[in-house]
Amino acid sequence: MQSITEIKQIMDASIPLVVIETFEEKKVEEMLLAVARERFAKLARWSLTDGLSTLSFGPQVVAKETKFNEPVELLRHIKSSHEACIYVLCDFHPFLQDQPEVVRLIKDIALNHLAVPNTLIFVSHRLKLPQELSRYATGFAMPLPSDDKILNLVREEAKLWSQKHGDARIKTDSVTLKKLVATLQGLSVSDVRRLVRSAIWDDGAISASDLPRINKSKFQLLDLEGIVSFESEVDDFANVGGLHNLKSWLEQRREAFVNSESSLDKPKGILLLGVQGGGKSLAAKAVAGMWGLALLRLDMGALFNKYIGETERNLREALQLADAMSPCVLWMDEIEKAMSQESSDNGTAQRLLGTLLTWMAERPSRVFIVATSNDISRLPPELIRKGRLDEIFFVDLPEAAVREDIFAIHLAKRQLHCADYDLAALSEASAGFNGAEIEQAVVAAVFAAQAEETAVTTDSLIAQCESTSPLSVVMQEKIAHLRHWAAERTVPA
């Protein structure tokens, strides 16, 4: 009803061009039929395949007087018509590019709207009007289903499955059902039905194991691959050595963020600063794993485009996608690549910063930011101040006990029993190593043992450590400066 009211208000305002970007073409037609019936207006539909058809009321839309298959022919007909009509033009976007006659005819129809109040409604998955037409147009967004509506759709699909399987009951629980509803937010009715059906019909259950697959399918439907990627391999903090302060901080705030009904302030995000290879990326993945949320990775380097304005548009679309995927974790990897104050890019970095700050301040959605950086000095202070992000954590080189944990994790991943190794000796041999260097020492020892057809031993692991020059030695001055800088300015992770 709200949609019908809004469309009627647009028509009452005598706006000749309306753009509706949606995949729900049938829903648009049903809504416009209701509007036309209330206003006693004539309604017609055009597509390249069907031509021009009059829409009538009843259980089915009936096509009549099919003609005018070519866009120019159609627009000339509308321009010469003296009878007011609402025209639904489906997938008209290809005909607006480099076709001046089409654009001019649309403009003529718009300019003549007060004399003959024809309304052109463009329905497409994506459509941008040329600049010379945009001042005569307005956009209309089809409403997305509410949580209650999504829950009703889930129940309807469950009932259909039950009827086809001897009235068997769907297996689920209230917690999983609540998470499913949250996951399906931001999708159209037909998309919600499709994803719910895919979860139910394979095994007659809605379980926690269905949620990652539904999240991935949702991301593919929204489609911004390349700039934003869906990370299906999220980790758990059980597979992350150390970072006890970060783990505790996240645990305290999990319920406030995950529970949409919590009255507590929603956590906004964190910045992870640290030594390269120290586990910042792994920690970002573990946040999503701990909170049971989808993880999106925003490639800051991929935002840039040589055309003016496209870089900022890429960021806006990426943030819109994150909003649509909420609740989720948005991992901004190496954020200084796009937000550096030292950039000489004709102000692109400043415009990106403005777009990001506005979104961070105004976003209503539950998107938790995990930004990682190797050089915080390149970031503007307005981005990292309290209020934008909740905390800055420093991921330092692992201490002796943490190095033991990291060795245990990577040995176990390769089906090697930790009890067979002297973890204290391995920790001592790897002093100054970061997590990535410890993992590579284990990998190298495994390959060497396979080549020599022997077992991996403590001595072979120590030998690999002794043959490695860690980053803390190779880049000693830079890392020492970073650790000194972070000592009093950040929270140890």
Classify domain 400-474 by CATH architecture: Orthogonal Bundle (1.10)
Residues 140, 122: Cα–Cα separation, whole Å = 10
Instruction: Among 37-51, 273-287, 391-405, 423-437, name the one with the lowest average pLDDT.
Output: 273-287
- State residue 2's pLDDT score: 67
Question: Residue 120: is its pLDDT beyond 90?
Answer: yes
Domain with CATH 1.10.8.60 in the chain: 400-474
- State residue 87's pLDDT score: 93
Element (H, E) at 274: strand 269-274
Q: Residue 181 contacts by C-beta under 8 Å, 6 or more apart in sequence?
A: 147, 150, 151, 154
Nearest-10 Cα torsion for 192, 195, 197, 199:
-130
Residues 266, 262: Cα–Cα separation, whole Å = 8
Q: What is the CA radius of gyration of the chain?
A: 29
What tokens appear for 286 in the block?
A: 């573990």
Instruction: Check: CB of residue 262 under 8 Å from CB of residue 337.
Output: no
Element (H, E) at 21: strand 17-21
* Burial tier of 347 (Cβ tally within 10 Å: 0-12, 13-18, 19+): exposed
Residues 458, 450: Cα–Cα separation, whole Å = 15
Number of alpha carbons in the 13 Å side-chain half-sphere of residue 472: 18
Report, as an integer, the average pLDDT of 430-459. Answer: 88
pLDDT one-digit tens code per residue, 19-47? 998 888 888 888 888 888 887 888 899 98
Q: Enter the pTM of the model.
A: 0.66
pLDDT one-digit tens code per residue, 80-97? 988 889 999 999 999 988
Q: Which residue has the tokens 């995927």?
A: 325
Domain with CATH 3.40.50.300 in the chain: 2-139, 237-395
* pLDDT confidence tier of residue 305, bands split at 50, 70 and 90: low
CATH of 147-221, one of 1.10.8, 1.10.3470, 3.30.1490, 3.40.1350: 1.10.8
Q: What are phi and psi of 352, to 5 degrees?
A: -60, -45
What is the fold, at CATH topology level, of the domain defined by 2-139?
A: Rossmann fold (3.40.50)
Question: Residue 329: is its pLDDT beyond 80?
Answer: yes
CATH of 237-395, one of 3.30.1360.120, 3.10.20.30, 3.40.50.300, 2.130.10.10: 3.40.50.300
Q: Calculate the average pLDDT of the chain.
A: 82
